[in-house]
Chains A and B, each alone.
Chain A
């Protein structure tokens, strides 16, 4: 597992160096300030999250996938912050399992849910395969993720399908959300689909039907030099009013 954390560190350091190299043309090519370590994920957890999100949203000929877009950083920051602590989650008992159409009914906060689930996954994969999830082939990783998705595995009290859905939702969120939250690095996901981001005025274009709009995207956390600053503490509520 040590190799994973070293790999994460080296990758992040490399990205930082790349950021410096492009400083001169930042205004035209926004870059994201880099992070060099996780806030919340431990070594084993990073060893699962990084390869897992790479299978959920893979890199391909069109561009980066979730791993390359730093979605692991997004997940790390979310679980470390208000979301992970259960912000806006109604947390009074009694705890009863209902129908899926009645929604989430477990007592775990998102951080607790991920920690419990990933601990169980690490043990399960080691026991079954004698290697970590990261060392499995891509096909075996997919098969394992599909088994989680299908449900039936108990991950430290968390049904595996509930964990899988949370992981998939957070991966897609991190891929497509503003890079202010740590994922969608350099707006790579927005560039691939053609979403212009926080840009705000299409009055002159909305009735130019079918126009090919190829403006580079804009982040809400982009400064005048083009650097995108990752929010340190991203709660929905207390910062909602921008005060």
Chain B
């Protein structure tokens, strides 16, 4: 049964994946997402699931690998430095085609950085920090409701492609409260149902053929064929998983590009600019990989500048430039270190940029 409730971001995220079919959680405490393991430790045992606090992020991602390889729907949450530690595991999960749902409630960096919100994980999550040719779909919701809807579907997407799926939130979203509509719980496979539902999984059952989950392929021609196979899968994901929201592109003088909480801030700046007679539009990538490059073809002749509004030193600019293809000047409005721009600050900087490009 779906229901409307007021929930804190981190708890809503956790509830959404449970309703999406997750029954196993592996995690290591890290700010600003520690409410998630706390919630999972309380809730999963009540709902036929299991919670395990790992000895480290390395432990957590590899527990999730074992869980996924065994056919379970696993979930891990962490924050930026913890996600960095998990990158080796993500490469293994992709190579061995093991599904898992990941949530990164990102914070500042580099290094231990800060515990304040940040978006400087863009390269880490869209390019991947692990070795080899692999891809992980990444979704960046801008509201708790959108995060809930995506996290609810993420386990099914991970299962469909036998690949990890990541949701990127930031510390702001994890900590804020919003009313959300919680969807009806999906069926979660029991261990008895796994051999039939996922015959490839290592379930230790006499199902005819033995299962082996692995990423080692020592013969060059075998590994090449495997990587080509992975990329056929990634091509499918590019077709099916791209998600973007565009607003007011037809007559915009300036177009903001922003994801997550920065999209909410850019939305406010759009209204303030409109009141001053400047039409602003927005491209809000919801999937960061696959990136919605084609959305940039919707930018009109009237647009004088495309501005990325980011909590990083402009990590998204590379993708924006690939979408814009040199047709319009591309600029950046940013704050880092856990500092947030105000909407007024965005308005002032936008006006300056417009003067400069006119």
Decide if A and B are genuine partners.
Answer: no
